[in-house]
């Protein structure tokens, strides 16, 4: 009887050891970058984004991983997850607040659910160029917005770039403000975007990003608006015929870290992740701008018809959406709106 009990105990121990060992490879197969992410490091950063592995955003995340692991001699390791493997932007941001995830890099629009002042970046036609956006985002008002995130258990380490959002549709070329009339355009679930497209004469339809391709394929909506990189990498050219450089919104990404995790780092480690987020951001922005020019060419090669908006027509669009700014100014925060718009004017004048 004792021998039987001993054999059972040994068998049970073996099963437990196998079960525990299985966790080491839990991330293998999700993406190839994580094979050694759980080995050797004392601290692990799980970094997730919604876009796929070919997007410049993910390549920026890999650069962040490279810098952090090198600068900490492997004491901090970074696991990278693309294509919404850890959830959508809001889900991942909430996971940062709870301390169950360490990094995500959402657009500013979903961040406005946590800090309303970030809605300032949803103001249509706010930035006339990438150069003006760069200067404003490096300035005091935009940097102060990052500091507000700490009140929500988040740390904003740097601005990255999603880029200018442009219009595609399957109905007709859009070259003038009149061409918007009646188009069913998918937008994010964002009141400012909805109001802006209504002022332009379109019929905006809020919808989750994951539902968009099928909605365009089935004709539920006529079109959508996103940067060229997203349009190409999500294969929207398969269900859309026309693309226009409306440049109606410039959308930054924000590199977010869990405050709980950040506070648990040493001062030296905090500086390393801050510097890495900024350096990787510069790399990501460079890749993003190169990619957008390249992807527009590819969209045309795939058969999409490109329409360039003239300065005169763009100004008509700018004038049409002015009521939106006044309607939402107090909701965003009048001080923030005035500060950002003043910074834009200063950047344009230099």
Rg for the chain, CA atoms, rounded: 23
Neighbouring residues of 280: CB distance < 8 A, sequence distance ≥ 6: 60, 61, 63, 64, 67, 158, 160, 255
For residues 254 and 162, is the Cβ–Cβ distance under 8 A? no
165 SS3 class: strand
Instruction: State the pLDDT at residue 202.
Output: 98
CA 341 and chain centroid, separation: 23
Instruction: State the pLDDT at residue 350.
Output: 64
Share of the chain above pLDDT 90, in %: 82
Q: Can you give the pLDDT of all 350 residues of the chain as single tens digits?
A: 434 344 334 343 343 333 333 333 333 334 444 443 334 448 999 999 999 999 999 999 999 999 999 999 999 999 999 999 999 999 999 999 999 999 999 999 889 999 999 999 999 999 999 999 999 999 999 999 999 999 999 999 999 999 999 999 999 999 999 999 999 999 988 899 999 999 999 999 999 888 999 999 999 999 999 999 889 989 999 999 999 999 999 999 999 999 999 999 999 999 999 999 999 999 999 999 999 889 999 999 999 999 999 999 999 999 999 999 999 999 999 999 999 999 999 999 86
Instruction: Please tell me the distance from the alpha carbon of residue 51 to that of residue 265, in angstroms, as a whole number.
Output: 28
Q: What is the pTM of this model?
A: 0.83
Which 8-state DSSP code applies to residue 341? H
What tokens were used for 313?
């027509």
Write out pLDDT tens, residues 18-74: 333 333 333 333 444 444 333 444 899 999 999 999 999 999 999 999 999 999 999
């Amino acid at each position: 009887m004792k021998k039987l009990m001993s054999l059972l105990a040994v068998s049970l121990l073996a099963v437990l050891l196998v079960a525990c060992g299985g966790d080491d490879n839990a991330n293998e197969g999700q993406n190839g970058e994580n094979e050694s992410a759980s080995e050797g490091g004392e601290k692990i950063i799980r970094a997730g984004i919604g876009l796929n592995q070919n997007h410049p955003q993910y390549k920026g995340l890999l650069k962040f991983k490279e810098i952090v692991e090198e600068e900490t001699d492997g004491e901090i390791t970074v696991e990278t997850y693309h294509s919404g493997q850890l959830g959508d932007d809001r889900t991942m941001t909430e996971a940062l607040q709870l301390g169950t995830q360490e990094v995500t890099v959402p657009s500013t629009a979903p961040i406005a659910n946590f800090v309303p002042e970030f809605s300032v970046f949803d103001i249509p036609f706010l930035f006339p160029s990438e150069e003006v956006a760069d200067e404003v985002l490096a300035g005091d008002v935009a940097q102060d917005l990052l500091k507000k995130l700490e009140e929500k258990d988040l740390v904003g380490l740097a601005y990255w770039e999603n880029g200018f959002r442009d219009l595609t549709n399957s109905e007709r070329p859009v070259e003038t403000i009149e061409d918007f009339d009646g188009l069913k355009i998918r937008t994010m679930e964002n009141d400012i975007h909805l109001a802006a497209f209504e002022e332009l004469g379109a019929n905006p339809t809020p919808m989750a990003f994951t539902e968009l391709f099928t909605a365009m394929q089935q004709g539920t909506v006529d079109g959508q608006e996103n940067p060229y990189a997203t349009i190409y990498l999500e294969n929207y050219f398969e269900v859309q015929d026309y693309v226009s450089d409306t440049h109606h919104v410039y959308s930054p990404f924000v590199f977010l870290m869990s405050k709980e995790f950040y506070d648990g780092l040493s001062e030296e480690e905090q500086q390393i992740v801050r510097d890495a987020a900024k350096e990787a951001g510069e790399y990501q922005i460079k890749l993003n701008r190169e990619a957008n020019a390249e992807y527009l060419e590819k969209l045309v090669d795939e058969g999409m018809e490109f329409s360039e908006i003239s300065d005169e027509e763009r100004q008509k669009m700018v004038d049409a959406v002015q009521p939106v700014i006044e309607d939402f100014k107090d909701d965003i925060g009048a001080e923030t709106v005035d500060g950002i718009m003043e910074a834009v004017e200063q950047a344009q004048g230099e």
